[in-house]
Amino acid sequence: EKKPIRIAVTGAAGQIGYALLFRIAKGDITGTNQPIILQLLEIPSSQQALKGVVMELEDCAFPLLSDIIVTDDPSVAFQDANMVIMVGARPRSKGMERKDLLLANAEIFKIQGSALNQCVARDAKILVVGNPANTNALIAMTSAPDLDRNNFSAMIRLDHNRALSILAKKIGSPISQISQLIVWGNHSPTMYADYRFALNSDQPLAYNLQDENWNTEVFIPTVAQRGTAIIEARGVSSAASAANAIIDHMRDWVMGSNGRWVSMALPSDGSYGVPEGIFFGVPAICENGVIKRVANLEINEFSKRKLQSSVDELMGERKLILSML
Catalytic residues: 187
53-68 b/e (C-beta count within 10 Å ≥ 16 → b): bbeebeeeebebbbeb
Query: In the window 98-137, what residues touch ligand NAI (CB under 6 A)?
Result: 108, 129-131, 133
Write the DSSP string, 152-194.
EEE--HHHHHHHHHHHHHHHT--GGGEE--EEEB-SSTT-EEE
For the bound state, the minimum distance from the C-beta of residue 75 to ligand NAI, rounded and expressed in Å, comes to: 12
Q: Which stretch binds ligand NAI (CB under 6 A): 87-95, 170-178, 209-217, 270-278?
A: 87-95
User: Applying CB under 6 A, which of residues 25, 37, 53, 89 lies at the interface with ligand NAI?
Assistant: 89
Listed residue (105, 104, 128) closest to 116, CA to CA: 128
Complex with ligand NAI: residue 105 or 142, whichever CB lies closer: 105
Query: In the window 171-230, what residues touch ligand NAI (CB under 6 A)?
Result: 187
150 contacts: CB under 8 Å, gap ≥ 6: 266, 267, 290, 291
90 near ligand NAI (CB under 6 A): yes
For the bound state, the minimum distance from the C-beta of residue 41 to ligand NAI, rounded and expressed in Å, comes to: 5
- Cα distances (angstroms) measured from residue 153 to each of 143, 157, 170, 257: 14, 11, 30, 16
User: Applying CB under 6 A, which of residues 238, 244, 257, 310 lies at the interface with ligand NAI?
Assistant: 238
**How crowded is residue 219: how many other Cβ atoms within 10 Å of its Cβ?**
20
Q: Which stretch binds ligand NAI (CB under 6 A): 10-18, 94-102, 160-168, 256-264?
A: 10-18
Binding site for ligand NAI (CB under 6 A): 10-11, 13-17, 41-43, 46, 87-91, 108, 129-131, 133, 155, 158, 187, 237-239, 242
